Amino acid sequence: MATMFSEFQEKIKNYSNIGILSHIRPDGDCIGSQVALSLWLKKKGYEVRAFNDDDIPGNLQWMLDFFPVVKPGFHDFDSCDLFICLDGNSLPRFGVFEEWVKGKQLPVWMIDHHPDPQDHFHLSVSVEIASSTCELVYNLISVDDVTLFDEQIAKALYTGIITDTGSLQFESVTAETVEIVAHLLRIGQFTPNEIIEIIYSNKSIGQLNLLSKALETIRMYENNQIAVMCVTKEMLESTHTSPADTEGFVTYPLSIDGVKAAVLLKDFFDDGVRISLRSRSSIDVNIWARELQGGGHKKAAGAWHKGPLDEAINDVVKIGIKQL
């Protein structure tokens, strides 16, 4: 890891205008790492611009006061001489940028913790065992100059680590992760609840009604080892909610006693059914998702199915049974 960081620190000196990209359908880890990395590089004297194709979820928008993340127009990339992609390891994860950069001889780097990174990056800080991209950015700043940490960087990194680890509950959390979090709390002079409340205590009544409907769909398979939950377009309509309101739903079927893996099927897209897979056993849902042309981590992965919903459930359960 140390060599990756020293290569990063050495080579970045060759550039002055840096574009930082975070993945489409942004989450706490990609926005947290993007804001923190941007603030750090700005402190070091670089020109920095941060881009994301999509709307930033409401509970993360406070970080944009620290550093703006803007939707790129095609020419917004022109002034940059280096690009850094965060929290994703293949260019299609970064929206319109992929199309813009195609055929150009410009350096594109990445910092990420997902398995099976693509090799089209010119420099990769790719650590699958890291809890989050924010943990990697923390390490990058630490080996450079610890005095560059400040309250805003600390809060952004804290947010990413917390959201990507289910509030420090996942298997990816190590003693080092917890030490990092402790250090961030000390640097930023904040308490966990200040951020946890902004991130999690912002639900609408519609969202809870949607959850109630989704919980009723839970079906168990293979002697209660696999739990399957669905959200349909009709449910969104009747509760006046949107796709983003299903965030975190999959943890409910996963919390049933004895369940080894949980599946959430989202049947409200025009082009098929979105499948989220979660494991809390030796089942590797990355392998499971790959059989459906998807992917992710061992404990959390995703895929698409052309539908209809019943067929998607049948196929996903059939593949899951093989993993037991």
Backbone torsions φ then ψ of 86, nearest 5 degrees: -120, 135
Whole-number Cα distances in Å, 118 to 89, 90, 104, 106: 6, 5, 18, 17
The residue nearest Mn ion at its CB is: 29
Is 164 a binder of Mn ion (CB under 5 A)?
Answer: yes
Q: How many C-beta atoms surround the C-beta of residue 186 within 10 A? A: 11
Q: How far is the CB of 40 from Mn ion (least distance, A)?
A: 18
Whole-number Cα distances in Å, 161 to 39, 136, 168, 204: 17, 10, 8, 25
Q: How many residues does the chain have?
A: 324
- By 3-state DSSP, what share of the chain in percent is helix, strand and coil, each rounded to 5? 45, 20, 35
* Contact map string, positions 55 to 84, toward Mn ion, x by CB under 5 A: ------------------------------
Report how far residue 50's alpha carbon sits from residue 31's, in angstroms, rounded to the nearest whole number.
Answer: 10
32/72 with CB nearer Mn ion: 32
Q: How far is the CB of 195 from Mn ion (least distance, A)?
A: 17
Is 112 a binder of Mn ion (CB under 5 A)?
Answer: no
* Contact map string, positions 188 to 227, toward Mn ion, x by CB under 5 A: ----------------------------------------
Q: How far is the CB of 133 from Mn ion (least distance, A)?
A: 5
115/243 with CB nearer Mn ion: 115
- Find tokens 């996903």 and name the residue: 316
Q: How far is the CB of 322 from Mn ion (least distance, A)?
A: 28
- Find tokens 């049933």 and name the residue: 256
Instruction: Give ∠ CA 112-118-120 in degrees, rounded to 5.
Output: 105
Q: How far is the CB of 23 from Mn ion (least distance, A)?
A: 9
Region of 57-65, 66-74, 102-110, 164-172 interacting with Mn ion (CB under 5 A)? 164-172
Q: How far is the CB of 309 from Mn ion (least distance, A)?
A: 28
Report how far residue 301's alpha carbon sits from residue 261's, in angstroms, rounded to the nearest whole number.
Answer: 11
Is 87 a binder of Mn ion (CB under 5 A)?
Answer: yes
Region of 132-140, 194-202, 273-281, 298-306 interacting with Mn ion (CB under 5 A)? 132-140
Query: By rule CB under 5 A, what count of residues binds Mn ion?
Result: 5
Report how far residue 251's alpha carbon sits from residue 304's, in angstroms, rounded to the nearest whole number.
Answer: 19
Is 267 a binder of Mn ion (CB under 5 A)?
Answer: no
Binds Mn ion by CB under 5 A, chosen from 5, 12, 19, 29:
29
Contact residues: Mn ion, CB under 5 A? 29, 87, 132-133, 164
